[in-house]
């Protein structure tokens, strides 16, 4: 069921465009209820315009907004948001998808509206994203879930302090998986495959593994493929020799968490 009432998307960059495309794809927000504020034309905003969304209307159009989703770069929200605040009604809920900017920081700059934070991945554009939701206000939390559940596997976080960790795992995680896939392809190339064949095999393996994952425990999935004494187990033992895989990923997530906090 679509969220009723106007939903304002502030910013239509890479993540904002992905969110907009996901709403249009899944019907989470009716096109006529969409208001997009963007300084430049974007393919996603023009597609939304063609279906009835309002792009950069007069500020008075914001008065009935049910939700305002802030999707600008973290360094820009203090400039972009204050001019909009006088036009928001009491019913508005502010949802931020900006990494690193905490709810207390937003509240200090924006005032008394309910505030929630959502960290979605760009996979929402295809209706197959991941989203972490946190809000102290139950209505803001419920609205965040309603806007993102139709296009993302959504988790509730019990503490805002966990948002940076969730962002480092889910928001950044796809890039880590792609980097692993590239490294796997280069390993195949080093073993004698030509580059094109190695790339096709590594990419196809990633897709197949994702499709086969289901909800089984990760240890179970690994055990199904890695028979004791087999070649897969030999490769896994080399991959995590002396715990280096676990250590590398722990350090990877920690570095992303630190950077998220620095940006905030």
What distance in Å separates the CA atoms of residue 217 and residue 224, rounded to the nearest whole number? 11
Q: What is the mean pLDDT of residues 159-183?
A: 92
With a pLDDT cut of 90, the percent of the chain lying above it is 84
Q: What is the mean pLDDT of residues 152-166?
A: 94
pTM of the model: 0.84
| Per-residue pLDDT, 185 | 97
Whether residue 172 is predicted with pLDDT greater than 70 in this model: the reply is: yes
Q: Is the pLDDT of residue 264 over 80?
A: no
Give the chain's end-to-end CA distance (angstroms, integer): 34
Distance CA 51, CA 143 (A): 23
In tens, the pLDDT along 184-214 reads 999 999 999 999 999 999 999 999 998 888 8
Per-residue buried b or exposed e for 226-248, using 16+ beta carbons within 10 Å of the residue's own CB: beeeeeeeeeeeeeeeeeeeeee
Long-range contacts from 115-119, C-beta under 8 angstroms, 24+ separation: 115/140, 116/140, 116/141, 116/143, 116/144, 117/144, 117/160, 117/163, 118/69, 118/144, 118/147, 118/148, 119/163, 119/166, 119/167, 119/170, 119/171
Q: Which residues pair with 36 in a beta bridge?
A: 9, 55
135 near 113, Cβ under 8 Å? no
Q: Tell me the pLDDT of the chain averaged across its residues.
A: 94
Domains parsed from the chain with CATH numbers: 7-158 (3.40.50.720), 173-263 (1.10.3730.10)
């Amino acid at each position: 069921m679509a969220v009723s009432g106007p939903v304002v998307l502030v910013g239509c960059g890479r993540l904002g465009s992905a969110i907009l495309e996901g709403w249009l794809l899944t019907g989470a927000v009716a096109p006529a209820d969409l208001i997009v504020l963007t300084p430049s034309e974007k393919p996603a905003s023009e597609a939304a315009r063609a279906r009835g969304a309002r792009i950069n209307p007069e500020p008075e159009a914001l008065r009935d907004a049910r939700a305002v989703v802030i999707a600008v770069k973290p360094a820009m929200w203090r400039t972009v948001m204050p001019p909009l605040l006088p036009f928001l009604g009491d019913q508005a809920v502010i949802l931020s998808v900006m990494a690193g900017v905490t709810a207390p920081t937003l509240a200090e700059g924006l005032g008394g509206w309910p505030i929630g934070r959502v960290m979605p991945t760009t996979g929402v554009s295809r209706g197959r994203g991941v989203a972490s939701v946190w809000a102290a206000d139950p209505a803001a939390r419920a609205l965040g879930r309603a806007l993102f559940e139709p296009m993302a596997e959504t988790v509730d976080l019990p503490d805002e302090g966990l948002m940076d960790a969730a962002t480092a795992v889910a928001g950044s995680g796809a890039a880590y998986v792609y980097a692993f896939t590239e490294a796997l392809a280069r390993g195949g190339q080093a073993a004698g495959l030509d580059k094109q064949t190695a790339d096709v095999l590594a990419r196809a393996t990633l897709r197949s593994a994702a499709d086969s994952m289901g909800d089984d425990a990760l240890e179970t999935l690994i055990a199904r493929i890695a028979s004791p004494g087999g070649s897969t187990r030999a490769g896994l033992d080399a991959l995590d020799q002396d715990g280096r895989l676990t250590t590398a990923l722990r350090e990877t997530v920690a570095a992303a968490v630190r950077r998220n906090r620095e940006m905030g």
